[in-house]
Structure 1
Amino acid sequence: MTPTEERLRAALAARADLYDGSREAPPAPTETWWHRWRGPVAIAVAAAVVVAAGIGVAFGLTGGRRVQPAPAPATPGTPTTPSATVPAGVTLSGDVDGDGVPDTVTTQGRVLTAELSGGGTAELRLARGERPSGLADVGGDRLLLVAGVSAYRLGDGGSFRVVATSWFPPSLVWVDDDARLLTGVRHEVDGEEYLTAYAWTGRGTELTPAADRMHCPGGEGSVPTPCGDGATFVGEVGDLPELQPAPVDTVGVGDGEVVSQGAGIDGLTARLEGSTEPEVGDGDVELVVGGARYGLPAGGAPALLQASFPAGDGVAFAVTRSFGDSTAYDVYRYDGSGIEPVTVEAVRGLDLHGGGPAAGGPFTDVFLSGSGGFVTLRSQSGIDLYQDAVQWRLEGDRMVGTDLGTVCLDTLVDALDVPGAYGDCGLG
């Protein structure tokens, strides 16, 4: 498990503790950008069905917009009654056994019965309070039966088995009009309620999510519909820089050297010398570049980023330190004769020093971007959708920040090893 995944899991657990589970969840969504229809599905009731249950996740919003945690969904074991359901006796039609021919599924009480086109039947007994949502196409050779917050696949042995949606904690689950399986998380932005949606696909025993469009709640007895533009719920990337960290290693005291690269600075080496203790005093560790030395200030054990940066007529190197859930970077410039720290001019209170809830403030992440240069993101927790962003560039002996405003970062999807998505938060 990567450090990002560990942090997100911990943040999810902490956020789950915020919910009292006493408020009833509203109806939920429909439609999106990914369309993978593989077989006929007909529902005798003109409604896609939404079920609200499970563990809810609320995202916060910073940077000028008022955001309140969404109402808590029902706690596990006490499912909320959906606004639109498949009534008992209604027939669902679709290929659930993978033979390419539609089967029929009928509901009677808590028992669902699939009449298979090739002969025989298969039954699924639902848990108390669960209701069928419909048949979902997740890209395999057969449709899944969705009920409550679970999806079931009919195995070759004739029994329905649960298909997992990884560790993602859904607050809303539904099958849309295109027979796609979606889950959603609710937000309130400027008094308006939105839902961020994920579409789930997969052929094995575990499904994988992909960011979908932002949805808006529907009226009484109907599901929410996509709102905003046609992009995923994070909006458009536009001119934003890469908002994911680059895979960069570090070098500790005595672990080796960093060799500079770039026009006019090739071949310079930098290393750390001195104490290897987890906490060091002023000057206990020195940054050595060429024949110059600079005593680093006291703090946690420093490490040298395996990267170099052109800095006017010199070259700069970055030193990083970790303090619990916080990470800080300090940049030092070598001009051919001596080493001096680079001045960082804060933007909206952000600099190159990250911090987490343990440090007594909002979660702030600092990293070297995949598109070059440092990026600072600030949110109310490590999983927030809305984040203040600043991109940094080195101008001689100064680090100058560009305010990117509030961006949307799909950190949950990224943590699940699915390509991450980010954008300008376009909700209009």
Structure 2
Amino acid sequence: MKKRVILFFGLFLLFLAGCQSAEDSQDGDQEQLEISTTIFALEDFISKIGGDYVDVESIYPPNADAHTYEPSSREMVDLAKKDLFIYSGVGMEPFASKAEDILEGENVEVSAIGEDIPLRGEAEHAHENEEEHYNEEEAEDNGDIIIDGINDHYHSGDTASIEAEANVDEDIAEWNWYFRTEGSEEWELDEEADDASFETQINDTLEVKLELEDADGEVIAESGVVELLIDNHDGESGVGDPHVFLDPVISIQLAENITDLLIEKMPEHEAYFTENLEELEGQLEQVDQELAQTIENADHPQMIVSHAAYGYWEDRYGLEQISIHGLSSSQEPSQSALVEIVDTAREYDLKNVVFERNISSRISEIIQDEIGADSAVLSNMETITEEDIENGEDYFSLMEKNIETLKTVLND
């Protein structure tokens, strides 16, 4: 009888232990934040800081171009089921504002984690915008002629389309559209534009004006000068360079913002998140030191890149990127810009063209052939490849490979 009692209590204790284990598992599932994000660097930082308390995944598939990717309707539905959707807020994700509108009213919290970070070139543009620039789809009105459809800025290769409305009593015989590039004093007549519409593909900032003539060739009205501003977000004329993820110092600020958000959502785990942040900061500081030493000790600071993603390395470490495309990989260079790139490459005897692993560029390949250069590869930390996933790469292993690539291209 005694043995039966002992056996019964033993089985009962095992049963209770099993129930408690199941409850613990359920509790663990409940307090794990379900997070969707965009940029690979953000995904990696969130995972490293959140650890056991987050389940994070980027909505970008392998090899995606962060500048142009648009999530599908199904992906937007999946986003609405998450606890958090974290995007950069630095102008990298073109769909972000639309996603915020769609997700408004859903249970998911949306956070632009880097929106408070000052971007390269941002302050200059903000000042110019207050004094000179038109708001998106602004109209210029001098009384007789209204010119409508002017964007606040364009990217190289964009097509600008504007319309004029004339408020004149005389019959209009000729619509003469004139344009000139920034800094030029001579106006050029657009022979193809002969009505109220003006359309052109622009690679440089243009000034445009319209003159109306009657049947006798007399000017009966003239518009004010409007500016079609090229803004490639290159840190010189842009609203800000979004490639902050390659800068380890700025990445520390991003990591701190992520930590603050996680603590806000799960304050009981503040010590855990803070400890993980401190470890991450130490690794980022090490990357900062290695980048500084690599570029400082290089034979030359110039490198030809397919895409102007390395402006923060220019500012912080003295690198000189010679970019084939603009800050967005979709921006095509003008013919004169291509000639200048080839001439510069020959001037400095540059032997490599640097590509990004997830972005191909036929124009970059043409330049590579023209100057007889080798190809090199850098990871932009925006998205990763299938191979990266299979190899278990993270931000720091990819940055280490980037540093090794820099040692090659800056010393050839």
TM-score by length of 1: 0.22
Larger of the two Rg values belongs to structure: 2
Decide which structure has greater strand share. 1
Decide which structure has greater helix share. 2
